[in-house]
Structure 1
Amino acid sequence: MGLTINGRLTVISGGSQGLGASLAKVFVREGGNVVIVARTEAKLKEKVKELEHDRQNEQQRIGYIAADVSKGQECDRVFKELGESPDIVICCAGGATPGLFVEKTTEELDHNMNIVYNTALHFSHAALKVMTKDREASSRERHLIYCSSVLAVFSFIGYSSYGPGKAAIRALADIVRQECIPYNIRVHNLLPGNIDTEGFELEERTKPEITRKIEGPSAPRDPDQVAQEIVRDLRRGKETIYTDFIGWVLGGLQLGISPRSWGVFQALVAILFALFTPIWTFIMNRDIKNFFRSKNGQ
């Protein structure tokens, strides 16, 4: 089965902006009950006002809960205040501040791991403690959706405080998917590329030039369009979802036990790409050496 939104309760962390806010908009327009979660109450209030314009009927629940979802106790509070077991949980909180690893402070590294990985870890943990106890709800299919990144399968210089956390989310999704089998909870993992959000604008401010060069001319995509495509793929029953072709290709290099997307073709493309990878790595390493020579004034 695929995703059913109408009349179902969806909770979205990171729902006040970016992809999370765009997903909230799609779910409300589809007749879903939506509660968004983020740290800043002012942003949440403003976003809920916007979502009210997309309301389909008076019975819809549209609300928010302010919480720091990088903390387990705060996540437990969210699902207690929710008052009922959710049908769909989306872990969409997080953000990137690119930079060279040795130039990061310990505090920055800890903070980034908190907002990238711990937000997904604790939010999904708190959600599942509630969802797995609701035996009555297990008669219908429910969904847990993680938001990882294409950097989880193909990381490179500049993303030392972001890529590892996203890779950890991918591993977490694979593990939790197995544990959710008895409870009729489908676990999905999104691996998006660049999306034109507030977070992406902040990301651009600290991105090293070498990171831009390796990344190439990857134009950020409209978040509303991406959200619609994600919902389309969820309805098709996909458990690993990419938002662009290059992400799908790169995902083939590290399939592991993650569910495939057009698996046979992805495996064939991965074989071809694996043959090209040593050449690409040679070129990348050469560019990195030149970057550091220029940076150090040599």
Structure 2
Amino acid sequence: MKYALEDQIVLITGGSQGLGKQFAQKYLNETVRSKIIVVSRSANKLQDAIRDIGGYPKKLQKSTDIDEQNNRIWYLPCDLSIPESVNEMFENLFECKLIPTQVLACAGGATPKLVADCTGKELEIGVKNNYLTALYVSHKVSQLLPRCHLVLFSSEAAFFPFIGYAQYAPMKIAVKSLAFILRQELPDARVSCIYPGNFLSEGYAVEETTKPSITKEIEGSSAAISCAECCNRIVWWLEKGYDDITSDFIGWILMSLDMGLNKHNNNSFLWILQLILGVIGNLFIVPIYMVFLSWDIRKWHKKQQTKRGKK
């Protein structure tokens, strides 16, 4: 199934900010016939997002005239972590005869903290926003749209989870697993899984305010790319026919190490080379790196204990 921006009916979850908003802008500005439906919990944020990208915000309702001249984008408030709300959303789409050919499940976000420092509510939000939203949308796609292109958004953290991302990374690993399973269950669909690294967005700015210093140290000093650049890279790889996509070279290396000898059903760039790198890396490089990483984490914990002892 070939990926294209034009002549699509695209449903974008998490469409009020970040990559979801960026994809909505790309479809709106670079096509003339595609129709776009953006979804998130907040109607106000969706309206603002559509205005920001040059559209006229109009809520999708069962009475909506989709043939109205000069209107190709609609918003639909929905809590995607509630299955009944997702059911109602798809009922609205079918009632309006807006049957998606592409579904981009972009909803999600992290609150980087030590797990002990997270509130119960923050942990619950992590599960809801980063996994249940993708799961419930995928559930309806598998029931109603068995021939569409489903694009799930995981994270580079799914390949290498580490300290500070307990509220986030396990759910992104689950999304990766979900993509592999759906490829087996939906032979007539195309299921892609995206693993972005750091990119500049509203969510990224908030994450930096809670991120532990050891998490920043492990991530390194590489600058986050722009949201537009991240979107463009993803589109470029999708158009080339790949379905397991990272947004930078580090992500590609981490995917290689995660694969090891288990290709499973990855459809990524130079996957044979990734298998070789994964075997060599896991035998000779990763064990040495993990020794130094464990040492750094122990030092960080000792510093935190010293700080607490001085208070």
TM-score using structure 1 length: 0.91
My pick for the range that moved more, 206-215 or 43-52, is 43-52
1:80 to 88, 91, 110: 91
- Identify the residue that residue 262 of structure 1 maps to in structure 2: 270
- Identify the residue that residue 2 of structure 2 maps to in structure 1: 2
Instruction: Confirm or deny: 8 A CA contact 2:111 2:122 kept in the other structure.
Output: no
- Identify the residue that residue 68 of structure 1 maps to in structure 2: 79
Higher relative contact order structure (alpha carbons within 8 Å, sequence separation ≥ 6): 1
1:215 to 192, 209, 219: 219
Residues 119-158 of structure 1 show CA distances to partners (whole Å, capped at 9, x for unaligned) of: 11112212332213xxxxx4xxx30000000111111000
1:27, distance to aligned residue in structure 2 (A): 1.6
TM-score using structure 2 length: 0.87
1:59, distance to aligned residue in structure 2 (A): 5.7
- Identify the residue that residue 135 of structure 1 maps to in structure 2: none
Counterparts of 1:236 and 1:145 in 2: how far apart (Å)? 15
My pick for the range that moved more, 59-68 or 14-23, is 59-68
1:103-252 to 2 correspondences below 5 Å: 103-132=117-146, 138=147, 142-181=148-187, 184-252=188-256
Tell me whether 1:288 sits opposite 2:297 in the alignment: yes
Tell me whether 1:46 sits opposite 2:48 in the alignment: yes
1:177, distance to aligned residue in structure 2 (A): 1.2
Give the paired residue count: 286
Counterparts of 2:119 and 2:44 in 1: how far apart (Å)? 30
Q: Secondary structure at the match of 2:110?
A: coil
What percentage of aligned pairs have identical amino acids?
A: 34
- Structure 1: runs of 5+ lacking an equivalent: 133-137
Instruction: Confirm or deny: 8 A CA contact 2:105 2:153 kept in the other structure.
Output: yes
Counterparts of 1:200 and 1:276 in 2: how far apart (Å)? 30
- Over the residues paired in the alignment, what is the CA RMSD in angstroms? 1.8
Go from structure 1 to structure 2 and tell me whether the alpha carbon gap of 1:85 and 1:95 turns closer, same or farther (over 3 Å shift).
Answer: same
Residues 3-55 of structure 1 show CA distances to partners (whole Å, capped at 9, x for unaligned) of: 0221210000001100111111112223221100001111111222234459x
- Structure 2: runs of 5+ lacking an equivalent: 57-67
